[in-house]
Amino acid sequence: MITQIYEIQSPQEAEKCIELGVDQIGSVLLSRDSWKDPAIKEVAGLTEGTSTKHSIIPLFSETETIFKAMEYYRPGYVHFCESPMDQFGKIKSIEKMIESQLKFKEHFPEIGIISTVPMPSNDSEAQFSSLEIGKKFARASDLILADTWLGKEPVTGFIGITNTAGNWDVARELSLELDVPVLLAGGLSPENVYDAILKVTPFGVDSCSGTNFVDETGKSVRFRKDFEKLARFMDEVRRARETLELKKREVKEKLEKLKEELKEREAALPAHSVKPQQIILLEEIEDEVSSTQREYEHLGEILG
């Protein structure tokens, strides 16, 4: 299970993230006119030779400038978070976005692609399908990031930095159903990341606003990380991992018992005249074995 922390724009903050064991450090290119930032270049350099990867979000969509930026920074990941929906929650045609990502992959096969998939907030009435969007983006993505959609985003046209939790049931569906590993974002902080991980069982978690300093009004301050909060966040992620390790062992024991029960039931069947209720009972056990096996495999995938 990995941690990804945004928005790290300075080498000083990057060094502290690396010391705390952050797996992926994320930086943001704020516009096509200011894409070249020596400080972010230094952040990228600090991750070289370490287990920490660097990811970059370009808050623009012009292909030529994105390519120039990737040549300059050479990050481990490029993170595309352009919204695939309009402000009313209607899915736009995203084939062009996927085609651009596939084109990017051809030019930079060594750079992984993270795609943001919007999920509704808990009080949203929007009817879009995050799973439908996720399956489309999975064609071109190495990681999927589930983040909260509000309809009126802090950065117009891009998903993220809402400091609002999304629907964790939707996020869990993405985590279980997509073939691409899923990171959970959306208002994660030291106070809720433990519960979020146990509910969603994602491949990793992402935090930005929830680990930032806050001003006198309680509003998150962009580009200023609170490292006391981040240390507690990392501790809670580790605590969640330990809990899931225990759960994995429990699921394994359950799976072994179910398989043994199934074997005994099959052996007890008469050679002839099998009753319908016996077949139904076997099918129920087979279904439970299948779902438990999938849960065990999923926990193995996210825990490594």
Top-confidence residue, 262 or 125: 262
pLDDT tens for residues 28-66? 999 999 999 999 999 999 999 899 999 999 999 999 999
Query: Do 182 and 203 touch, CB atoms closer than 8 A?
Result: yes
The whole-number average pLDDT for the span 245-251 is: 98
18 pLDDT more than 80 = yes
As a residue count, the chain comes to 304
pLDDT surpasses 90 at 229: yes
Instruction: Give the per-residue pLDDT at 16.
Output: 97
Instruction: Report CA-CA distances (Å) from 28 to 54, 245, 250.
Output: 11, 34, 41
Q: What is the pLDDT of residue 261?
A: 94
Mean pLDDT, rounded, for 249-256: 98
Question: Taking 80 as the threshold, does the pLDDT of residue 160 lie above it?
Answer: yes
pLDDT of res. 276 = 84
Which pLDDT does position 100 carry in this prediction? 94
Q: Quote the CA–CA distance of 234 and 218 in Å, as a whole number.
A: 22
Q: Which CATH superfamily is domain 2-243 in?
A: Aldolase class I (3.20.20.70)
Mean pLDDT within 101-119: 97
